[in-house]
A and B are shown apart, each in its own frame.
Chain A
């Protein structure tokens, strides 16, 4: 992976696959195709890896958001050489970020440590020890390039406006003194019911949950088991991570079904204890989420994939005779050929010319119409004293009555090498129908967090309802908020990878990526097991 000087010529000029953009999905496809023996060219217009999943220093992140939120000027039409048997179709980019607001409350402090920040663009994001992304990491042998740490704690904002622990495991239920004894019993019995259901044995037919229940909304199933409200909320929003209010039938389509809920619960439970040295269910990569994309790229490079960064693609090449896309034209002017093209979701093929793209198929469509509102905050305080890395879920309506979806907060501390030792990065995200709604929810969440700081700092001496700018400044060092568009992956003559979704982990993205790969290469295995990539689960590299 060498950075080439301004106008180097790429040799060879024909590949099995060209991937544009080094986001996580693109990187995984490049690595999987390389592992399957394909020749791959992986391009990125940026000088860094990761695309929409990247991790950047503070000022780079700010400048990315500022530039990505304004549409790029259309590039001058490229000359078409009639002598060739193909035409070029100019590519345009669309802006996927909007309503960017960035403030710095302590520029000199941040400047002093500027090199120590590694901020995720698509936060908050974590991995479950047993999720599909970790499976892919292990299967591809990428774990040798990565190091993870556990998220120390997981909290839930309960009805009374208090932070409560998420008792996600047997040991956590045992330890949690905020639960009453009866609540412990009820919750554990529910967990056992689910475990019984998941047992493979045929002889426990009668302990299975009925099909009728599985197809009913999860919340109805929980009601049927007569779980108290608090337990239901914790299961729905903090463990099964439901996005929308499950009691609100108006939203209708976004209701979590029992089988989905149980699958998510199972993921949570199998994650706990999967790795000996991991506490809890959640992991975060040291140096930020961008490390994942980069690790898959390294894997691809080892398998022969050619990397060219800082290389924009200006046009697609289309065969004159059969209208098939057959390559890309680089900013350097060079034409590179391949019958498989995978593009970053920010590219647009101009309407009048893309008739043949009408045949694009969506891959794993899920809430693709929603936007994601994100916020990033750098503070000197932790949400909970003595806890550096933690997750916090505000269920719908917890912050204010119009809060339609769950707001999720992830705090990462200096021990994960994302910021200086004495600081914390707080990520907030929520799904929203429009920018105003999203911004309001993110704002409400950070205000709630600041009042947590205040109550912790001043020992509840005088907690003002309205936090003024000055106080805010004393708590926050830097903040950014923005709205990110969603888009599903698409398969077709030219395929597109999906944008980061509103989920905490990558499972939906992994499904889409896997499906895309399967459609491109129906006969290839997704990371075939070879002796060189055989990995042990308890590999020391997996955890620090």
Chain B
């Protein structure tokens, strides 16, 4: 059982098992013969019973017995006595098989099957379970079966909960007991059963219980698992809610064809380039949701918007649930050199169509509005591409503008959180504060990895739920904790690194001032790509994962170079992005760049000096929920682009093809990757017809 090392068999044990196998073999073939002949006589049944007693894992034998039971039940007179006799015999066989191996799936399942035939005595089953659980209190088969029996015979959850308490009292390292406790409590809390409401009261008691385990032995995992479940119960908001949007509430957007605005009365950061008078409208939820469409989200405008709104989820292909949803508003073609202003009001929550993955509806009525000015000056349509942009430090100067002009200028507008965020109950905030104080105390007593991790998680929960928290100080404490953990626990380095990255990004984006430190202007304000647009540079932060995108929805130029990114997951929400640098990261394949496919306005991409092509096995592929999630690719009409599909290189570079075929890149940097070769570059030129610059050289 648990914690006991396996010993190699002694010669005499080996001999014994060989002898047993020799005995088993003829019986087994006899059984198969009987099975084949549909021979269910008494002698044949005895053979199967003997086989199962010796080897409970022979599933065919269980199936044979099930057939035999069906056979006899059909044959026998329907008096309860004889039916009982048949089923009792099965229970006996299953029991003796379990004595041989308490973890035999077949035997446990057979017992379940018999019980489902309507023959059961709760007492008998519970007594048997008692015996097996005494043998091994953590045997999850027995616990599984216990849940089945409890449900079948309607044992109240309260009673089963008491049983888990008893088991935990005997040995609190019983992970199965904790697990069953969480399952039972979740049910009771959901039902709002008597004595289990309000949830905070119950949670408080549970926290107190699990503290006893954690503090008594911080090295034991089972309590920590339960504790994590409790945290989840404490902060989970069932109903999804809107946390951010583009454009933000009460913001004024200027839509123009020209990037370089000469009208200095307009703040440069407020203008957005559009070729077709369309504006991306992005909704960002706190959890992936389904059902965002023109009926669940109402968009009213003083402008006569063209066409119906089509909402698209921004997620891995094939998923219809996403945190971020986008739609494009098409404003009416105004007169040249005129400026029209429209107001737009977006509201959602009136219908119950928007639902989270766990089935909860978006219920809180939510509303925000913004203003759009459409400037359509007559300017020569530049041939974008004559000038490339160069991601050099000296090309970026600090912003001449004041932080207040950023799209989230005032703290009210930083996000729309204050308008929409769920106000978590005071008591939950209190619970979280208590936990933080407790774990600080524990860590002052003893060095404990999981204690640090838990403290970090609770601090994050505190930042998320308490509006009065000193966020920056707490985020800094969390960052320090993850730094420590990376040193203390190298096995889980990457996990800590990812968490560290997310927290770091949260810290950077938490206030206008801190994000402003990362905002720059491109030196050449006449650049067709950058103009006077604010560039956000999150380079050299050694981040390995992208987060806090809900605060970056407005970003058009983003420098993520010199980090440790392995994937661009998260960037799909940044629909306004037109220039992106990912150079000097750890991107290992084109699949890791999949999320860029949805960025229709992306023109400039720098993925130089990464690891594309260095790994013969593409592990990012398996990070996606299923290899079949790529099925969408097959449906694409490959014949649309004859020139490419005819190319013999398609087979070698199909991943690159699927990434780039939807993008309208004019500039791409790919050097410094294993995959980069003359042949590959030639292929890229074919796939990207609008490409002007490739690796700093003009495309002919």
Contacts and interface: CB of A to CB of B under 8 A. Distances in A.
B69 to A, nearest CB: 36
Contacts of B218: 185
Contact of A171 (B171, B441, B445, B446): B171
A182 B172 contact: no
Contact of B215 (A175, A184, A192, A276): A184
A48 interface: no
A324 interface: no
Contact of B217 (A177, A182, A186, A188): A188
Of the listed residues A170, A171, A173, A185, the one surrounded by the most CB atoms of chain B closer than 10 A to its CB is A185
B171 A189 contact: no
A386 to B, nearest CB: 16
A230 to B, nearest CB: 16
Interface string B110-134: 0000000000000000000000001
A185 B216 contact: yes
A182 B445 contact: yes
A181 interface: yes
A400 interface: no
Nearest to B445: A185
A171 B170 contact: yes
The A interface is mostly helix, strand or loop, or mixed, namely: helix
B170 A181 contact: no
A182 B211 CA distance: 10
Interface residues of B, number: 17
B591 to A, nearest CB: 45
B217 A181 contact: no
Contacts of A64: none
A186 B442 CA distance: 10
A170 B213 CA distance: 9
B438 interface: yes
A173 B446 CA distance: 17
A174 interface: yes
B175 to A, nearest CB: 15
B170 A184 contact: no
Nearest to A186: B445
Contacts, number: 42
Contacts of B170: 171
Contacts of B215: 181-182, 184-185
Contacts of A276: 134
B169 interface: yes
Nearest to A187: B216
Contacts of A170: 171-172, 216-217
B212 interface: yes
A170 B169 CA distance: 10
Interface in A172-201: 173-175, 177, 181-182, 184-186, 188-189, 192
A168 to B, nearest CB: 13
B446 A175 contact: no
A181 B215 CA distance: 6
A401 B218 CA distance: 39
Nearest to B215: A181
A171 B169 contact: yes
Q: Which of A171, A174, A175, A186 has the most CB of B within 10 A?
A: A174
A192 to B, nearest CB: 8
B441 A175 contact: no
B537 to A, nearest CB: 46
Contacts of B442: 181-182, 185
Nearest to B168: A174
A526 B30 CA distance: 55
A364 to B, nearest CB: 37
Nearest to A176: B212
A185 B446 contact: yes
B190 to A, nearest CB: 28
Interface in A469-510: none
B445 A174 contact: no
A407 B442 CA distance: 35
Given A171-B170, A186-B445, A188-B216, 8 more contacts: A170-B171, A170-B216, A174-B169, A181-B212, A182-B442, A185-B445, A192-B217, A276-B134
